[in-house]
Structure 1
């Protein structure tokens, strides 16, 4: 029996000052003044279009992603949250995250975001080495990154994530370790620490930069940095996520536990479990902001809308759940896919025989080897 899981809301704010050469997200360089008011109105129309899929359900987290959401002034974020919370029930203490570029941080904005209801900030720092930042095409330097985090803390934010990348062009192990030391000095609640990858359809993929550490060097950096994060009191709870006790990202946990989410805004994706129909539906929006805004609130704003075939559900579930060190309960697999656990019995047995998973009667947990070979483990569940 498919049982609707917790629900989140993802809000895509697609503009940025400059497109980074490694970025494959749906982001668009700012050209002149941005239409903040018009975009918020389009977001609300988009939300209303999806409300029939989520009547009566409670939203447990909200995430403003991009692009660079911190380009939006606090009053636009406040306007959206007021209108959204009038249409959806927000849980008490609902986690509300705003992604922030240190190069767009302005004095006074953080006070406004906090007053609007944002209670978690995610800073795209990427590195504290100015040479690395220049090679990554970032618009900020290390001084601005540290200043922005301290401004947010002075405004009252205590739930702060720092995004850091490693295996950067020209970076060695000592440089990656120095990045973490400077991050620790800022006392964040959460660190996202992930390897630079050359994604298709990016400038770096077309013209790879020199000086990227090879696979062995990147692995050495990863192992050393994991030890540093553990020694500093951060729990490694997901492939690239580390948190102080009790400070895991609730929004991302909901993704990884195969929860539901409404996705609104240009290019946003959503996933909703429909209990009556016993199906999982995926829905996504047109990517270009102008095209999406012109038709937001209707079916023409959709880039696609489909029910996930039952044969695909085991793979989609594992693609998320096996990212977590905690693994998953077999009862949760049944509730969130509507499939019996016997559906995946043969694949689980294969993974156990390879030393990739530990399985008892009720829970599946990836081993250290399984975490290292995550793509191979997940591929076992392809239809």
Structure 2
């Protein structure tokens, strides 16, 4: 039986100083000053429409302000936005519960100096897009900061009172050696973030790198980087709880992303934002996509919603597994039924096949992807198509 899961909110701010060649997110290079007030007005109208559309009457579990580069906004604008958002949701019944509010930030010095203002505005977690500490790699990645600015941003985040900050770091960069990738990781660890996102650069369609691909390390080198990096992180006290996410304790895990991966619900507002809402009384799961381009999204004559559709029963097993198998935490078939509204019989056969192939393990009714399964995750997921 489909059960209403925790509700998160994703807010997309699409502008960047410049578009990075590897980025396939909906981001747009700045060509003029941002009209913060106009965009906030449209974000709130977008949110109000979703609340009415799905008859939302439950508290928020988490908020994630992503982009683009949300830290281009002033702290006053972020405070105004968050204040208005919280007015629209009932408080959590647990008075001790604190909604996790994450904001993505560029390590550039000017934006890093805003961190205290963001904290005062209600942000309690910052995710800093470092990507690398090597100057030559940052240039090739199209980043506008240098390694000194990245270090300074982490120090400011640590000093301003924010509960937790994350460093985003890539590996498998152009002509990157194992030593170079591990040096990046060591520098990140030295900054003592409570959370690290460490993931391999992939070449995505509709990016500059796709049309002019860089020379990336061979697969064997990539695998060695990953294996040695995992050992380095573990020895430094970081526990891997998802394919590319590591924290120094459960309390520092990204609750917003956990809600995604555990098939929770989320409203998505802003240019090109995606949302997913479960309606147990209808046994339906809805997905939404908002108008992608800022000009269209901020057109007062146009609706913010671009697409809405229901997730067919046939697609629900794959969607569940695509998210849940990212986690290093077992799941039960009760979890599957609650998230999909489908019978457990739907996935018993493919799960057994995956077990026979040693892609997953099963212990007392709890299923978990194996180390081997993580390496061949696409093969594992294909069993649920």
TM-score by length of 2: 0.96
Structure 2 partner of 1:253:
258
Distance in 1 of aligned mates of 2:248 and 2:337 = 31
- Does 1:188 pair with 2:193? yes
Distance in 1 of aligned mates of 2:175 and 2:19 = 21
Distance in 1 of aligned mates of 2:222 and 2:35 = 42
Structure 1 partner of 2:149:
144
Tell me if structure 1 keeps the 8 A contact 2:36–2:77: yes
Q: CA deviation at 1:361?
A: 4.7
Q: CA deviation at 1:111?
A: 1.5
Q: CA deviation at 1:89?
A: 2.7
Distance in 2 of aligned mates of 1:324 and 1:107 = 31
Tell me if structure 1 keeps the 8 A contact 2:71–2:111: no
Distance in 1 of aligned mates of 2:238 and 2:203 = 27
Q: CA deviation at 1:154?
A: 2.0
Distance in 1 of aligned mates of 2:68 and 2:344 = 39
- Does 1:221 pair with 2:187? no
Aligned pairs for 1:63-78 within 5 A: 63-78=64-79
Tell me if structure 2 keeps the 8 A contact 1:158–1:189: no
Structure 2 partner of 1:327:
330
Distance in 2 of aligned mates of 1:361 and 1:308 = 30
1:47 is paired with a residue whose SS is helix
Q: CA deviation at 1:322?
A: 0.4
Distance 1:66 1:106, change over 3 A: closer
Structure 2 partner of 1:5:
5
1:320 is paired with a residue whose SS is helix
Distance in 2 of aligned mates of 1:39 and 1:146 = 31
Structure 1 partner of 2:342:
339
RMSD (Å), alpha carbons: 1.3
Aligned pairs for 1:202-281 within 5 A: 202-210=207-215, 212-246=216-250, 247-281=252-286
Distance in 1 of aligned mates of 2:348 and 2:90 = 38
Count of residues paired in the alignment: 379
Q: CA deviation at 1:54?
A: 4.8
For each residue in 1:166-185, what CA deviation from the matched residue of structure 2 results, as whole angstroms up to 9, or x when unmatched? 01113111111111111111
Distance 1:339 1:104, change over 3 A: farther
TM-score by length of 1: 0.96
Distance in 2 of aligned mates of 1:275 and 1:235 = 35
For each residue in 1:170-207, what CA deviation from the matched residue of structure 2 results, as whole angstroms up to 9, or x when unmatched? 31111111111111111001000000111011100100
- Does 1:48 pair with 2:48? yes
Distance in 2 of aligned mates of 1:90 and 1:164 = 35
Q: CA deviation at 1:110?
A: 1.3
Q: 1:154 aligns with which of 159, 181, 184?
A: 159
Distance in 1 of aligned mates of 2:224 and 2:111 = 37
For each residue in 1:42-89, what CA deviation from the matched residue of structure 2 results, as whole angstroms up to 9, or x when unmatched? 000000001131522111100000000000110111001111100113
Tell me, which stretches of 5 or more residues in structure 1 are unaligned?
none
Distance in 1 of aligned mates of 2:266 and 2:55 = 10
Tell me, which stretches of 5 or more residues in structure 2 are unaligned?
none
Distance in 1 of aligned mates of 2:229 and 2:110 = 28
Structure 2 partner of 1:198:
203
Q: Is 230-239 or 325-334 further displaced after alignment?
A: 325-334
Distance in 2 of aligned mates of 1:104 and 1:144 = 6
Tell me if structure 1 keeps the 8 A contact 2:72–2:111: no
Structure 1 partner of 2:85:
84
Structure 2 partner of 1:125:
130
For each residue in 1:296-320, what CA deviation from the matched residue of structure 2 results, as whole angstroms up to 9, or x when unmatched? 8x7x322210000011000000000
Distance in 1 of aligned mates of 2:364 and 2:155 = 48
Distance in 2 of aligned mates of 1:194 and 1:54 = 37
